[in-house]
Amino acid sequence: MESKKLTAESAPVFQEGISLILTRWSALTAAVENEWGGRDSLGKANAICTDVFAFFTEARAEPLYIDDLENLLEEGLLSLNTLVEDGSIEEVAEKLMIMHEECLEGNYQSVEKLRTTNPPPVAHVRPSNDEDEDDDDDENDSMSADIAANMMVDVPNSQSSLNPVSMLTEEPKQNQSAEAEDGWVVVSSRKNKGRRN
């Protein structure tokens, strides 16, 4: 039985599909964003994409087995010091196998669907380090800025809704809540109050 191969037209589409699936994989994106694999975490993630593409395009006598692909994905995550036991490796491997079969048939609907859908929102907040800001790409910076903006907006609303009575009782408390809007509160020293030279 002769195995089908990707055509010159389908190979780049399939490669893009691999990249789209892997960049939406929360375990992989968390490992890259938090640099669990060291400073070259992004390079290691790109190597996983390359290895997966090579897995599907190498000339071999035996058919492709999903278990081999799962092992490849698991080894890639281990290179990023990430151990996943949530079933996502199997899920990603299945999506990749299905996409490969579709691309062999010239059906690019799954890749088109990935292109048009937005990636799922990230469920964690990555603290930014001032030293590493130059290494971050623009997408991560804008995402961090959006998260920071949302966090700043949420602070006054949650504080005002917790105790709305205190906002109306005294004027100094209103002043204190205004200071809290930017996240900072000025605290005066009680020891030296009135004894400054």
Tell me: the pLDDT tens digits for 46-62?
999 999 999 998 877 78
Does the residue 159 lie in any domain?
Answer: no
User: What whole-number distance in Å separates Cα of residue 189 and Cα of residue 30?
Assistant: 43
Residue 30, domain member (yes or no): yes
153 domain residue, yes or no: no
**What's residue 192's pLDDT?**
59
Residue 192 counted as domain residue:
no
Query: Which pair of tokens denotes residue 98?
Result: 């299905």
**Lookup: tokens for 81:** 């010091």
Task: Pick left, alpha or beta for residue 97 (phi over 0 → left; psi -120 to 50 → alpha; otherwise beta).
Answer: alpha
Within-domain flag for 71: yes
Supply the range of the domain harboring residue 88: 11-108
130 belongs to a structural domain: no
Tally of domains within the chain:
1
Q: Return the pLDDT at 80.
A: 93
Residue 118 lies in a domain: no
**120 vs 26 pLDDT, higher one:** 26
Q: Which residue has the tokens 């949530």?
A: 86
What Cα–Cα distance (Å) separates residue 166 from each residue in 88, 125, 159, 177? 48, 31, 11, 10
Per-residue model confidence (pLDDT) at position 182: 64
Looking at residue 190, its pLDDT comes to 66
Residues 6+ apart with CB under 8 A from 101: none
This prediction's pTM: 0.59
179 within a domain of the structure (yes/no): no
